[in-house]
Amino acid sequence: VALGGRTTAGTWALNINKRGPIFWPTTSRVVEFEPGRRFANRITENTTIWVFELEPTADGGTRLTERREVPNGLTFISTFLTDKLFGGQPSFTKEMDRGVSTSLKRIKALVEQG
């Protein structure tokens, strides 16, 4: 949910996260924005950066890459909650990897619809 209209560098967003019956909000801010090439937002609560990159492919298509960067390590509260609520970092990371794959498939389907 964008809080300020059109997305540009500096835009704040409210994110709703879900895992089973648990829901929790986070906020993020766009820290890099290159239209048609790169979009990155930093999650306020744990300082991770989610990056989406677009690059042309040899066949005229576009490759979309999504990744989570943790340049400054995780915050104490994020590590604590991951360990206590989500079964620890290794299992949480595997779950996020599956989520990234799902997101990319959904984005691809939306783009191919037109």
Confidence bin at 51 (pLDDT 50/70/90): very high
Residue 2 maps to a domain: no
Establish if 6 belongs to a structural domain: no
Query: Predicted confidence band at 31 (pLDDT cuts at 50, 70, 90)?
Result: very high
Per-residue pLDDT band at 4 (split at 50, 70, 90): low
**Tally of structural domains, the chain:** 1
Q: Is the pLDDT of residue 1 over 70?
A: no
Residue 20 placed within a domain = yes
User: By C-alpha distance, which of 110, 93, 113 is closest to 48?
Assistant: 93
Does the residue 78 lie in any domain?
yes
Report if residue 7 sits inside a domain: no
- For residue 2, pLDDT over 70 is answered with no
Domain residues for 54? 12-113
Segment 45-50 shows an average pLDDT of: 91
